[in-house]
Every structure is written in structure tokens, then in C-alpha cells.
Amino acid sequence: MDTAAAEVTTAGNARPGRRRTGRRAAAWCAGLLLAGVSAVVGCRTADTDGITPVPQLLAFLPWLLAPTAAALLLALLARFRTGLVWGVVVLGLLAWFIEPYGRTHDPSGAPVASFRVLTANVEFGRATDALVAAVRRERPDVVFVEECDSAHCDPVLRRELAAAYPHRQAVESPGSAGSVLLSRFPLTATAGVPGTMGMPGAVADVRGHRVRLQLAHPMPPLPHQLGLWRRELGALRDFAAADRATPTVLAGDFNASQDHAAFRRLLDTGLQDAARLTDEPRTPSWPTRTTPLIGAQIDHVLLSRDFSATATRFLDLPHTDHRALLTDVTLHAHH
């Protein structure tokens, strides 16, 4: 009887020990998750993009709600009070930053011209045929094409779309460096924005009104080239800030979302994101393997305050990792 009682007592003591060990492990896991999310949220709060892997994770900021919720659950199971408070604070900051950045502005002048803009990254020209079909179906007036290689994409666009789009400005280059700007409106060439990948620009005559058109395609924030990414986004910012009087459309693959400080500096010049103006501020455009469930909105149509946007749609094109972005815009007279 004494031996049996001892065995029962030992088993009873072991169970609380296992529970304590389990709670300790859950608390550690909660702390690690919260530490990782806090590093990203801290950089967002400090208005900086930080160092790798923060810039890469900032693109997916809304989806950091998932590890934060998991950490809160673990903290609850572990009775980890510090973790619970920590998690609630992080959750609140994430909810705050998920809101669209900056204020919107409605033009007060009368509408003077409406037109349709399409931007598409065709991934080394692989989605060129799909783009041609989309252009014929949607009939945009201005088309921005990123990663339009000179071997396949550019010749196809010349052959298939020259009649509908007699005006063009291009940086002809192999691979991802090629870019093309197509227009139904007459164009006057500009110097564009210098970059590793082509970023052509022009001034369009839109029914008697001058409109600056600039294609955007800075380098992505890869771990070994964060400085280059920041500099090329900075060059786009300089372009936007150089002439705030002329109506401007800046569109393309920015390789950045509103959660990147370098992109917010662009918006601070007075440009507005057409997707936000049409209630699509968080619709993902990349990567297509996981959109629209998970992804980042890194393809944008940015408009000066002379414009309003009436509709935005993200189009799925085969053979590219980006969704195309179609936007209907209206130019307003200066009031």
C-alpha cells in the first residue's frame, strides 16, 4: 500500500511540473513572436525601413496580425501577463498602421478630361501576349509596361498595338530593364528618371492639357541592395517634387508599399494613390501565386491633386508574378 501511494503521489507531482514546463515554453514562444513583430512595428513607428529583414517584412505588415494573435493566445495559455499587455500594444499599433497613410484631397475644379491608365509588369516579357489581350479588352488610353524586354515584348507591342497607340516612349533593353510607355495622346519625350531598370517619361497632350507621365520601376529591396532601392525611390520622389504645378501621373511597379518609409516620402510630395481613392488601399498586386489572399500592393498609379479616380481594378495576367492595375482618372481644372 505504501508503494502504491508513493507512485500516485509522484505522478501527481509530475503533472504540475509538466504544466509549468508547458507554460514556460508557451511564454518563450509568445515572447519570440512578439519580439520579431515588434522589431518591424518599431521601425514603422520610427518612420524608417530599417535593415534586412525589416523592409521585406514591412511589405506584408497587415499579415503580421497572424503571429501577433498566435502570441496572444500562447501568452493567455501560459498566464504570461507581460506578454498579454505586450501583445495588445503591438496589436493596437498594427491596427493603427493598417489604416491608409495620409489624407486625401478632392479637386475643386471642373472636370476637363477623363482617361484610363493601365500599368503592368510583364515579368521579362513573358506576359506580353496576355497584356495585349487585356489592352484590347479594356482599352486604356495610357499604358505603362515594366520588364518589357527588347527581344520579345517590345516587338510584339509595336506590331500589335502601334495602330491604337501611335505615341510611345521606351527604354529598350533586354530582360527586366526594358520599359515602354504607350499613349493615345501625343507625347513629348522627357529625360525620364535614371535607374537600374528603365523608367521612361513624357509629357502628354491630353485634350489640350499638359500631363506629366512617368513610369516607375525602382530596384526591389533585396538584402544586398537596400541602398540602391532607397536611392531610386528617392529619385522618383525628386521627380514628383520638381514640378508640383503640372498634373502628374506616376505609375508602375514601385517595389514598395505604403508601409515603406521611402514610399511614404513619395506620397508626401502631394501625390495620391488611386487605389486608396477608390477604396482599394490594401488589395495585393504581388505575388500572384498567393494573391488576393496574401500579398503586398507594390504596383501603384499615383496622381497629383489635379486628379480624381473613379474606378480601380486589379487584373490577373498569366505568366507574370504581378497583377496589372487599371484605373479610370479625371483631370480637373485649377480652381
pLDDT tens-place string over residues 51-104? 999 999 999 999 999 999 999 999 999 999 999 999 999 999 999 999 999 889
pLDDT at 8: 47
Mean pLDDT of 5-19: 59
Quick one: 285 exposed, middle or buried, by C-beta within 10 A (0-12, 13-18, 19+)? buried
What the block records as the C-alpha cell of 114 is 477623363
- Bridge-based pairing of strands 201-206 and 272-273 is unpaired
- Per-residue buried b or exposed e for 215-247, using 16+ beta carbons within 10 Å of the residue's own CB: bbbbbbbeeeebebbbbbbebbbebbeeeeeeb
Residue 212 three-state SS: strand
Does this model's pTM top 0.85? My answer is yes
pLDDT at 103: 86
pLDDT at 334: 81
Quick one: 252 exposed, middle or buried, by C-beta within 10 A (0-12, 13-18, 19+)? buried
Angle at 317 (CA atoms; ends 64, 61), nearest 5 degrees: 10
What the block records as the C-alpha cell of 141 is 488610353
Return the H-helix or E-strand segment holding 119: strand 111-121
Whole-number Å distance between alpha carbons of 182 and 163: 11
Q: List 302's β-bridge partners, or say none.
A: 250, 273
Mean pLDDT of 199-228: 97
Angle at 97 (CA atoms; ends 94, 102), nearest 5 degrees: 175
Torsion of CA 205, 192, 285, 270, to 10 degrees: -70
By C-alpha distance, which of 288, 315, 287 is closest to 132? 315
Q: Angle formed by the axes of helices 128-138 and 153-161, to 10°?
A: 30
Q: List 145's β-bridge partners, or say none.
A: 120, 180
pLDDT at 195: 97
Q: What is the DSSP string of 17-51?
A: HHHHHHHHHHHHHHHHHHHHHHHHHHHHHTT---S
Report the percent of the chain where pLDDT is more than 90: 90
Chain centroid to CA 20: how far? 44
